[in-house]
Structure 1
């Protein structure tokens, strides 16, 4: 009888822990937990080490650990690597904190927007929907051939490669290009 109780308890705990990330995709080789905040989950993604370093350099850790809600379009390391040589190193310098903050906040929206909701807004707007960001940038969202795409004010196009990574304080959508403020 004790064995049965122990087994049932273990199964119950496994089911509860599965609910914590049920439906959340893996990102950067790691599980993403819906009960952790944006910074906690991003720090576990091998694909977002540059983003996490940038968030720390900009002093945005506390903000992105707050209640939110936020939608973060999270560029991967390879997205940062695609920038002109030296750009990331320059942005990470203390004297460029204001510029770095603007770049990062051009990837953030001050509410939770799941992919299906954004797709609905795109359809309602005839194929393109403006997405105002906390950094003052407006991204243009489109959806075609099963892909969500974002266009920044400089003509850079990002594709959402992983959508709807639920967080305790919002949602992350992984993107393959860094969005930049209007130059």
Structure 2
């Protein structure tokens, strides 16, 4: 055999040996990697947040109670009673009424105030014509007097609404608290929601427009 042919055969054998060696190394590395993954979870997965599990944790009793849920919206303690009333989709009529009667300035004060805010359904019950009349400029004083029936000076929490207790409104009228089973009523109006704490008071949603008694 010629020297040239022997040299070519040697080179071919050398490359074949190197190729087998590399393949063996790659196979060994793959096996080692598979074994490492089997022994320990992918660390990248530990940093991923599962939105569903995060949401469920945020809504458990372990979550910090930083706000009360009233009328479907959060009422933040950092906001005053006017801001919290305005944020509720169940209190749009009451919001319009206090603005029309120019009571927002008073309720923006230091307080504290306890507001028994009638829901939109409560205003529907008095009739559209009656409410429209109250919203007329010439009936502004009458509207203000009606709305004052829903405001009491001081911070009165839900737990403070005891059967037989009497509350005095900012208009000098009286509200009678009564209980029936788990229900709490103020002048016959049921308190529908646990209070929404505010920076200058608290808000209770009631299911009727209040008429107060003379003191």
Give the TM-score category using the shorter length.
Answer: 0.7 to 0.9
Give the match for residue 7 of structure 1.
none
Give the match for residue 170 of structure 1.
201
- Within 5 Å, which residues of 2 pair with 1:26-105? 27-105=70-148
Q: Name stretches of at least 5 consecutive residues in structure 2 with no aligned partner.
A: 1-57
Size of the alignment, in residue pairs?
A: 153
Q: Secondary structure at the match of 1:68?
A: coil
Alpha-carbon distance between aligned partners in 2 of 1:169 and 1:182, rounded to the nearest angstrom: 26
Structure 1's consecutive aligned runs of 4 or more residues displaced over 4 angstroms after TM superposition are: none
8 Å Cα contact 2:67-2:75 kept in structure 1: no
Q: CA deviation at 1:163?
A: 2.1
Once structures 1 and 2 are overlaid, which stretch shifts more, 110-119 or 74-83?
A: 110-119
Q: Secondary structure at the match of 2:74?
A: coil
Q: 2:151 aligns with which of 85, 99, 108?
A: 108
Q: CA deviation at 1:24?
A: 0.9
Give the 3 Å change call, closer, same or farther, for CA 73–62 of structure 1 in structure 2.
Answer: same
Give the match for residue 137 of structure 1.
173
Relative CO higher for 1 or 2, CA cutoff 8 Å, sep ≥ 6? Answer: 1
Alpha-carbon distance between aligned partners in 2 of 1:29 and 1:39, rounded to the nearest angstrom: 16
Q: Name stretches of at least 5 consecutive residues in structure 1 with no aligned partner.
A: 1-13, 123-127, 152-156
Q: CA deviation at 1:139?
A: 1.2
Aligned-residue RMSD, C-alpha: 1.9
Normalising to structure 2: TM-score of the pair? 0.67
